[in-house]
Structure 1
Amino acid sequence: MHRIHFTADDVARVRVAPTLGPMAETLFSLTTLRRRAEETAFGGWRRRVRGGLGPRSAVLAAIAPARLPCFDMALLAGPGRDLAESAETFLASPRRAVRAELDFYAGHHGRVPAALAGLIDTPAARREVLSTVEAYHRAAVAPHWTAIRAHLDAERARRGAILLDHGVDGLLSSLHPDIRWTPSTLHVNAGDQFDDDFVLDGRGLLLVPSFFLRAPGVMYDPIDPTDYILIYPASLGADHAAGIWTTGTSAQALANLLGRTRASVLTAIADGVATTGALARRLDISSAAVSQHTTVLREAGLITTLRHHSNVLHNPTQTGLTLLDRERTPV
């Protein structure tokens, strides 16, 4: 059991991020690949990915062995907007940070596998491991990343709504069945082999949902354990998962109907990206272009627009959600 101890300042500094990025989710997916849990949601994906694993799969098995803990490459790679950003961070990781992760791994598994043994001192070994992970990402995660990221954005928006309606107590009490909030301690069931107490000491806690990681865990730097991240499983029903694996066809059909950019605007609004500025950043277009597209969507009855102080907030209508083949997510 992990116990995370809060002060009043920590409660005020709880934040929610949508994701640590594609590198972290790719690494988290290795754990899901090795297990049989949530077969309805992940069974088809597992069978397809396992059937395509190449001869370097031993490296992947070393990173995520059958028994926890994994080699925490996600911590070394850090959060990143894309795979390349996290890859650069991993390649530049200090030797002592890599050694600390491998020592922790060996402490639980008895040894460091040969596939990981050179990561401390040998740049070529890091590049080889990274190349294997990148190839796995292209096969297992990249085809679905846009839909996965949209699902995680929607999860963050849902948590924001819970925070607004029910406060921090409501947010921390509703994260996952294996996470229990008894003010002022958050209890995280991380398995019998892990028993730790984490004192936030006024720094707060970052909450990050994961699509692939289906059990909660605490991420922190063992050399400098000052900032803690709680990774929790995003809500995921079988119907949502099915939509992730088949999203390419429906997304193309929607783009054919509305136009690619306008379809992306509607999808982003349904994912909880509500303001013109946020839409412009998400889609990498100008605010003027966003305004043009939202005007058309509003006139078609697919979104509504409200002004809140200096912000213009967009929300999907039921018609818009139906077009996206979605239902309103209950809060």
Structure 2
Amino acid sequence: MIEYELAGNDLGEVRFAISPLHELVLSLRTLRDPGRFPLQLPWLRATEPARTGLDLELLRALTNESLWTPDFLTPRPYSPLGRIEDELSTLAGTPAGVVRADLAEVHPGTLPSALQGRPARVLGRVLAALRDYWEACFEPHWARMRTVLEADVVYRGRVMAHAGLAAMFAGIDPHVRLDGTVLRIRLRSDLSYRASTAGRGLTLAPSLFSRRGAVPISPDEPPHLIYPARGLGTLWETETSTPPAALAGLIGRVRAQLLGLLETPTSSTELAVRLNVTPTAVNQHLRALRAAGLLISARHGRSVLYRRSDLGDHLLRGT
């Protein structure tokens, strides 16, 4: 059990962030044990040809049988606008002692051969392998991945603002709960510690490669919680559902499909992928639906996220 004692039970104690590096590193667990990540199988199949030229021995060595990863590879992010270039640049400055200690924490005893050697050289090989992995397997899909993560952040922020911290944490993961001012995260392992967020705050980062709440191995790391993002089940799907015939006849098939999809905040990029149409076409439909009062929109970072309005709900349900 991991416990974070919040310095104050208020909204200012918690911040959200999106980390491309987190996603890159956590996805390594799917390479080691793909059977535990069935929702990522479409992505694994799609990127299989691109992985043939990667240093897979080293990449797989960055996790262990418990699917832990070294803390230095998943530092606490600070912004929902994180860029992989910035995160890899920061990672390059990791002190040798931290690299050595964190690798030993994940691989007690003898390190895998791919991770043996002077820490500075090992870190250089790790950075090179991660950059190649990003370019081959993540860069082509990152826009789609980011839209799901951003939609999750918007949703959690709305719940937190309207219903409070406890309600927001209750919806993140059944293994996470807020008791008064103490956030408790129940893990599968025997890892246990208690730390205060005083002076450091608590960062929450949604992930497409986490099945349950995850925290740093060391209590000395800044408090942050990685949790499963909403919408993962539809990330790699193309929308094929048929909207109600009467509604499609009234506003058109594509616009009716859009209304059906927009129960939760979603960007035009993700909608275009799921409907297999161009972003330009989607934006035209979204503008028309918003002008009719059927959608509401809000800017989040570099994206505009859309969601059905109450009027859109009533029209979709025929009430």
- TM-score normalised to the size of structure 1? 0.69
Give CA-to-partner distance per residue, 1:18-56, whole Å, 9 cap, x none.
412x222111111133332341x2222233434543362
| 2:160 alignment partner, one of 158, 163, 170 | 163
Matched residue, 1:233: 228
C-alpha change, 1:63 and 1:151, in structure 2 (3 Å) is: same
**In structure 1, C-alpha distance between the alignment counterparts of 2:152 and 2:74, rounded to whole Å:** 22
Please state how far the C-alpha of 1:81 moved relative to its aligned partner: 2.7
Aligned partner of 2:95 in structure 1 is: 94
Residue identity matched to 1:234? A
Determine if the alignment matches structure 1 residue 214 to structure 2 residue 211: yes
1:16 Cα deviation (Å)?
Answer: 3.4
Match of 2:264 in 1: none
TM score, norm. by length of structure 2: 0.71
Question: In the TM superposition, what whole-angstrom CA distance separates every residue of 1:263-298 from its partner, at most 9, and x where no partner exists?
Answer: 7x96xxxxxxxxxxxxxxxxxxxxxxxxxxx7x875
Contact between 2:204 and 2:225, CA under 8 Å: does it hold in 1?
A: yes
The structure-2 alpha-carbon separation of the partners of 1:120 and 1:76, relative to structure 1 and needing over 3 Å to count, comes to: farther
Unmatched 5+ stretches in structure 2: 240-269, 299-303
Q: Is the 8 A contact 1:18 1:152 kept in 2?
A: no
Per the alignment, residue 243 of structure 2 pairs with: none
Equivalent runs, 1:106-255 vs 2, <5 Å: 106-107=107-108, 110-118=109-117, 120-122=119-121, 125-201=122-198, 203-219=200-216, 225=220, 227-243=222-238, 249=273, 253-255=277-279
Residue by residue, what CA displacement relative to the aligned partner does 1:46-87 show, whole Å, maximum 9, x if unpaired? 334345433621011111233332223433596673222112
How far has the Cα of 1:317 moved from its partner? Answer: 4.5
How do 1:66-85 residues align onto structure 2 when only pairs under 5 Å count?
66-75=65-74, 81-85=82-86
User: Which residue in 1 is equivalent to 2:15?
Assistant: 16
Amino acid at match of 1:104: E
CA deviation string 1:150-187 (max 9, x = no partner):
11111011111111221112112221012122223222
Compared with structure 1, are the counterparts of its residues 48 and 234 closer, same or farther at alpha carbon in structure 2 (3 Å cutoff)?
same
SS at match of 1:207: strand
| Length, aligned pairs only | 276
- Aligned partners of 2:55, 2:68: CA distance in 1, in Å? 21
2:51 is aligned to 53
> 2:127 is matched by which residue type in structure 1?
L
The alpha carbon displacement at 1:15 in A equals 2.1
> Structure 1: how far apart are the matches of 2:194 and 2:76?
25
8 Å CA contact 2:238–2:273 kept in 1: the answer is no
Go from structure 1 to structure 2 and tell me whether the alpha carbon gap of 1:256 and 1:78 turns closer, same or farther (over 3 Å shift).
Answer: closer
In structure 2, the CA distance between the partners of 1:300 and 1:131, relative to structure 1 (3 Å rule), is: farther
Question: Equivalent residue of 2:215, what SS?
Answer: strand
Task: Report the 3-state secondary structure (helix = DSSP H, G, I; strand = E; otherwise coil) of the residue aligned with 1:219.
Answer: coil
Give the Cα separation in 2 of the matches to 1:111 and 1:298: 60
Q: Rate the CA distance shift 1:119–1:252 in 2: closer, same or farther, 3 A.
A: farther
Offset of 1:196 from its aligned partner? 1.8
Equivalence map 1:32-43=2 (5 Å): 32-35=30-33, 36-39=35-38, 41-43=39-41
2:74 match: secondary structure: helix
1:132 shift after superposition: 1.5
Percentage identity across paired residues of the two chains = 23
Residues 302, 252 of structure 1: CA spacing in aligned structure 2 closer, same or farther, 3 A cutoff? farther
User: 1:29 is matched with which residue?
Assistant: 27
The range that moved more, 45-54 or 127-136, is 45-54
Distance in 2 (CA, whole Å) between partners of 1:137 and 1:248 is 23
Q: Which residue of 1 aligns with 2:5?
A: 5
Over 3 Å counting, the alpha-carbon distance change for 1:61 and 1:100 in structure 2 is same
Structure 1 equivalent of residue 260 of structure 2: none
Structure 1: unaligned runs, 5 residues or longer: 267-293, 307-312
Change (3 A) 1:63 1:169: same
AA aligned opposite 1:257: A
